[in-house]
Chain A
Amino acid sequence: GNSVTQMEGPVTLSEEAFLTINCTYTATGYPSLFWYVQYPGEGLQLLLKATKADDKGSNKGFEATYRKETTSFHLEKGSVQVSDSAVYFCALSDTYDKVIFGPGTSLSVIP
């Protein structure tokens, strides 16, 4: 079946460091891909998305590119801030409209 794999956390970075969170997926057809963020004590919010191969989603300095050849959707940010500390979830929506989330990656940014 369809699945999403994310790098294990927690990830701890210093402020202004470069961030990469890896995400790979298994799916038939052409899924849509998402990154959601969950701040402490809150529900999830959409961070960015991509709907077809080679699309790049971007928001708040974060970027991810839909790579069909490597079935990946890695999240990157050039310079993280303390306020980016949160849990990040990679997700896909398949051709049957089911949504599958990865296990989440916890990020802590220290001053």
Chain B
Amino acid sequence: EAQVTQNPRYLITVTGKKLTVTCSQNMNHEYMSWYRQDPGLGLRQIYYSMNVEVTDKGDVPEGYKVSRKEKRNFPLILESPSPNQTSLYFCASTLTSGRNEQFFGPGTRLTVL
């Protein structure tokens, strides 16, 4: 089954404790992206990657890191999480570019205390 998976689905952590949210897709897509969803703000793009070793900032990259060492994986790293990063996070992938249909993961609910 074609899908985008994220782990964990739920995470509660404390300020400053480094964490990684994993994202994996099995569709051989080149383009992957991370979003955060906050009430009243919709989805905002954090980072995107157009291929292996190619990443670029979205609209809200501060406080986040990403890497794309393999085509299928695109982890999101919070080196020192803060309470304002409490949010619902979605990973998405698409065949070649943001102009194609994006396939979304189920989301990760992160709470930073």
A residues contacting B by CB (< 8 A) are 4, 6, 32, 34, 36, 42-46, 49, 51, 89, 91, 93-94, 97-104
Contacts and interface: CB of A to CB of B under 8 A. Distances in A.
Contact of B31 (A94, A97, A102, A104): A97
Nearest to A1: B59
A74 to B, nearest CB: 17
Contact of B102 (A46, A100, A102): A46
B29 to A, nearest CB: 13
Contacts of B99: 32, 51, 93, 97
B5 to A, nearest CB: 11
Contact of A101 (B31, B43, B56, B97): B43
Contacts of A101: 35, 42-45
Interface residues of B, number: 26
Q: Is the interface of A mostly helix, strand, loop or mixed?
A: strand
B43 A98 contact: no
B36 to A, nearest CB: 11
Interface stretch (B10-18, B63-71, B79-87, B104-112): B104-112
B48 A89 contact: no
A44 B37 CA distance: 11
11 contacts: A42-B106, A42-B107, A43-B92, A43-B105, A44-B92, A51-B99, A89-B42, A93-B98, A93-B99, A98-B45, A99-B45
B104 A44 contact: yes
Contacts of A45: 104
Interchain residue pairs A-B with the least CB separation, the first 3: A43-B104, A93-B98, A103-B42
Interface in B1-51: 4, 31, 33, 35, 40-45, 48, 50
A98 B48 contact: yes
